[in-house]
């Protein structure tokens, strides 16, 4: 609810997807608190780590945004563990100064920081994580490597990957809706890949006419370096570093420990 409260405003529409595996009734109060500006993906999808269901949920939110006939210039893809670092006014001002640019973290694959051949093995082999679980999917992956199997994947496109969080223009979302919606030829290529949400949007947009508009920056402060978990859960000790980062959002935030949320919110009025 902290994220919803901080982002809500007259010119803001919030679209929420709640995993179908969760008790959705617990979130009904959000819709009641801000009627008319919050919409839920219905029916919700069951989302599983590492599978195409993560992409499906994102695509359904994009689809809903267009079906609502919302007049928007930018969309932010956020999780419930994100929090704004600056006010809505500062976000609007930033996007106004950078109008037409798309903010999406990307690296050409293979990327040296990614495991499994720099990320290429995510698409070279079949991954059945959602069907047989992560452990068995790993076994099946190793078996494919052992027998020398390798599937052809996107011989006509350069592969890119990066963080799955983004801030994109309406034009970029229209392109995704046209070329990458559920059921398209592009979408079908990603069946049985590993963590496709970190490759799907990068590869689609970096091989599109919008390539020159994409800035490799997702505008999020995320600590991938210090651990013990990756990304690390942020707390009040990260406050100064977050502020100095110049980012618009920060993640991950523990919803049960809102000290950092309070410190960030105190920097700006609700606007």
What region, left, alpha or beta, does residue 35 occupy, with left being phi > 0 and alpha being psi -120 to 50 degrees? beta
- Identify the DSSP state of 154: -
- Distance CA(225)–CA(211), nearest Å, equals 29
What crossing angle do the helices spanning 170-179 and 53-67 adopt, rounded to 10°?
A: 120
Name the residue with higher pLDDT: 225 or 45: 45
User: Are the beta carbons of 139 and 89 closer than 8 angstroms?
Assistant: no
pLDDT in tens, 118-167: 999 999 999 999 999 999 999 999 999 999 999 988 778 999 999 999 99
What region, left, alpha or beta, does residue 183 occupy, with left being phi > 0 and alpha being psi -120 to 50 degrees? left
pLDDT (average), residues 8-30: 86
**Confidence label for 34 from pLDDT (cuts 50, 70 and 90):** low
Bridge-based pairing state of the strands 249-251 and 82-84? antiparallel
Count of beta carbons in the 10 Å neighbourhood of residue 236: 14
pLDDT value at position 193? 96
Strand partners, 161: 107
pLDDT value at position 163? 95
User: Are the beta carbons of 96 and 89 closer than 8 angstroms?
Assistant: no
pTM of this prediction exceeds 0.85? yes
Give the residue from 248, 215, 202 showing the smallest Cα distance to 103.
215
- Distance CA(144)–CA(160), nearest Å, equals 23
pLDDT value at position 10? 78
Q: What angle do CA 180, 193, 106 make, to 5 degrees?
A: 65
pLDDT (average), residues 47-60: 96
Q: How far is CA 26 from CA 29, 31, 33, 131, in A?
A: 7, 11, 13, 28
Residue 234: phi and psi, rounded to 5, are -85, 155
Name the residue with higher pLDDT: 26 or 241: 241
- Distance CA(122)–CA(97), nearest Å, equals 37
Mean pLDDT of the chain: 92
Give the residue from 177, 162, 54, 42 showing the smallest Cα distance to 111.
162
């Amino acid at each position: 609810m902290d994220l919803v409260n901080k982002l809500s405003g007259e010119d803001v529409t919030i679209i929420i997807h709640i995993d179908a595996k969760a008790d959705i009734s617990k979130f009904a109060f959000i819709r009641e608190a801000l009627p008319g500006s919050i919409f839920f993906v219905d029916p919700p999808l069951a989302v599983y780590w590492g599978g195409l269901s993560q992409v499906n949920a994102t695509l359904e939110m994009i689809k809903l945004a267009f079906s609502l006939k919302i007049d928007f210039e930018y969309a932010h893809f956020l999780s419930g563990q994100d929090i704004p670092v600056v006010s809505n006014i500062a976000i609007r001002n930033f996007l106004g100064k950078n109008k037409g640019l798309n903010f999406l973290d990307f690296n050409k694959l293979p990327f040296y920081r990614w495991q499994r051949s720099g990320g290429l093995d995510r698409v070279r082999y079949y991954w059945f994580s959602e069907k047989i679980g992560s452990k068995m999917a790993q076994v099946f992956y190793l078996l494919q490597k052992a027998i020398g199997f390798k599937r052809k994947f996107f011989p006509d496109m350069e592969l890119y990957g990066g963080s799955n969080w983004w801030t994109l223009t309406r034009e970029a979302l229209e392109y995704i809706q046209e070329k990458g919606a559920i059921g398209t030829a592009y979408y079908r290529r990603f069946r049985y890949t590993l963590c496709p949400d970190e490759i799907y949007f990068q590869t689609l947009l970096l091989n599109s006419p919008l390539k020159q508009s994409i800035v490799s920056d997702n505008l999020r402060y995320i600590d991938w370096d210090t651990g013990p978990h990756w990304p690390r859960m942020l707390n009040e000790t990260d406050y100064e570093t977050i502020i100095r980062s110049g980012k618009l959002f920060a993640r991950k935030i523990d919803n049960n420990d809102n000290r950092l949320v309070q410190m960030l919110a105190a920097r700006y009025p609700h606007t």
